Amino acid sequence: AKEIIMLGNFTYCNPTRLYFGKDALDGLNKELPKFGKNVLFVYGGGSIKKNGIYDKVLEICVKIGKNVFEDAGVMPNPTTDKLHEGIERARACKADFILAVGGGSVCDYAKALSASVHLDDDPWEKYYVRSEAPNCEIVPVGCVLTMVGTGSEMNGGAVITNTAQKLKIGHVFSDEVFPKFSVLNPEFTITVPKYQMVAGIFDIMSHIFEQYFSGTDDCSNDYIMEGMLRSLIHSANIAVENPKDYEARSNIMWLATWALNTFVEKGKTTDWEVHMLGQAVGAHTDATHGMTLSAVSLPYYRYILPYGAERFARHAVNVWGVNPKGKSTEEIGEEGLSVMEKWMKKIGLVTSISELGVTEEDIDAVADSTLVMKGGYKVLTKDNIKAILRASL
Ligand code: NZQ
Ligand code: ZN
């Protein structure tokens, strides 16, 4: 008999307060006074200096009377080396608060840092290898988001790359490390290059898929995710034609947050194997996160389709509008994936790992860096992983 799972047992609380819209930055005036004087202003490679966000944030901090210290140069796919540099800076300035201004990399880095400043252990070993929870004081974090996709603005995720070990691993911290607040102004994302925008759009899609393609029970979150996917496809089409379309960009921003803020995962086993494959590709190439996901998704989903055919057919019909009449469940599922493939190519997504620099000779090493997840429709063997990576070349 089919196991009745319904939504299971859980507790739900998301502690991050959001400030959304064109005036969202005003939120800093409400939030920053709640925290100590020494603010560590964390940002990336300088895009915020070009588009003026840096000046706006600094002005508010100074007006409130904060002592502002900087930790710049957080790279896309932040590394353990950078994390150690940040720990030194945060200790030296006795940071009371970490203000992250940037994309997922800056937000992730700020969270990893927040749980490492007062840690006596090595953060890579503790959080990423042993996957332990913090047992030290956490420095509170706030985010001003400038690039959309990861959902890092309202979750506990912090993905760090160990370049020496060629491993890219995410630690999901609990509530205490979630940003205390996040500022979401869609206008701040308008200067994001098209390649990054499209990668972010696919990152959102992939986050939804990772949760949607799991389980066979009747879960209200699956219906919500189908609606989110339809809205995402609709707004993505508009944003790709006209990146300055505020309505489309704001819808995409809102979807990104809700795709990965622990809401839709409730009641789901969740898969995350696409992210494990993508992160392994990322560890070997330093490629843009969303593009590593788009490059492996179709071969992966085609590989597991026979094990989750019902859900793939439902996805094809409810998300991509495939007409199911006269077709087998698997045929409907495959038709959904081929409609999706055409759309992915149309909006400019990378659909092969060779484009990201992976060659046949790298396959074994990339497979070695790929973690195996258990919540999807098929638990992969190392040989399955190699076959999927070869099909992604
Ligand atoms: O460094 P700067 O100069 O700011 O430039 C960045 C960077 O080069 C640029 N950018 C950001 N905002 C901009 C802008 N350029 C112009 N105008 C703006 N307004 O965009 C580039 C990419 O930024 P990045 O932060 O790396 O992108 P993203 O937001 O995609 O973050 C990727 C990282 O997040 C992790 C990924 O693995 C990767 O390390 N993830 C975090 C997750 C989480 N916290 O839950 C989940 C995700 O699955 C993901 O793994
Ligand atoms: Zn992602």
Segment 129-155, tens digit of pLDDT: 999 999 999 999 999 999 999 999 999
CA–CA dist 30, 11 (Å, integer): 28
Residue 319 CA to ligand 1 center (angstroms) comes to 27
Residue minimizing CA distance to atom 48 of ligand 1 = 150
Closest ligand 1 atom, residue 199 Cα:
30
Closest ligand 1 atom, residue 206 Cα:
48
User: Using a 6 Å cutoff on CB, does residue 76 contact ligand 1?
Assistant: yes
CA–CA dist 182, 247 (Å, integer): 20
Under a CB-based contact definition with an 8 Å cutoff, are residues 155 and 265 in contact? no
Residue 326 CA to ligand 2 center (angstroms) comes to 36
Closest to 312 in 3D by CA, of 290, 289, 293, 339: 339
Tell me the Ramachandran region of residue 52: left when phi exceeds 0, alpha when psi lies from -120 to 50, beta otherwise: left
C-alpha to C-alpha distances, 45 to 39, 54, 118, 157, nearest whole angstrom: 19, 12, 26, 21
- Mean pLDDT, the chain, as a whole number? 97
Q: What tokens were used for 120?
A: 């006596």
- 63-122 pLDDT, tens digit per residue, is 999 999 999 999 999 999 999 999 999 999 999 999 999 999 999 999 999 999 999 999
pLDDT of 352 over the 80 cut: yes
User: Using a 6 Å cutoff on CB, does residue 44 contact ligand 1?
Assistant: yes
User: pLDDT category, 8, cuts 50, 70, 90?
Assistant: confident
C-alpha to C-alpha distances, 285 to 81, 194, 253, 376, nearest whole angstrom: 17, 20, 27, 26
Closest ligand 1 atom, residue 282 Cα:
37
Residue 127 CA to ligand 2 center (angstroms) comes to 19
C-alpha to C-alpha distances, 287 to 137, 189, 199, nearest whole angstrom: 33, 20, 11
Helix 273-285 × helix 289-304 angle, to 10°: 140
Could you tell me how far CA 274 lies from the centroid of its own chain?
A: 12
Cross-strand partners of 181:
17, 142
pLDDT of 1 over the 60 cut: no
User: Using a 6 Å cutoff on CB, does residue 265 contact ligand 1?
Assistant: no
* pLDDT on residue 249: 98
Residue minimizing CA distance to atom 49 of ligand 1 = 150
273 CB-contact burial (10 Å; exposed 0-12 / middle 13-18 / buried 19+): buried
Under a CB-based contact definition with an 8 Å cutoff, are residues 85 and 116 in contact? no
Q: Region 176-200: what's the mean pLDDT?
A: 98
Q: Mutate which of 80, 109, 150, 177 to test ligand 1's pocket (most atoms within 8 Å of Cβ)? A: 150
Under a CB-based contact definition with an 8 Å cutoff, are residues 61 and 222 in contact? no
Residue minimizing CA distance to atom 38 of ligand 1 = 77
Q: State if pTM tops 0.95.
A: yes
pLDDT of 287 over the 90 cut: yes
Closest ligand 1 atom, residue 207 Cα:
48
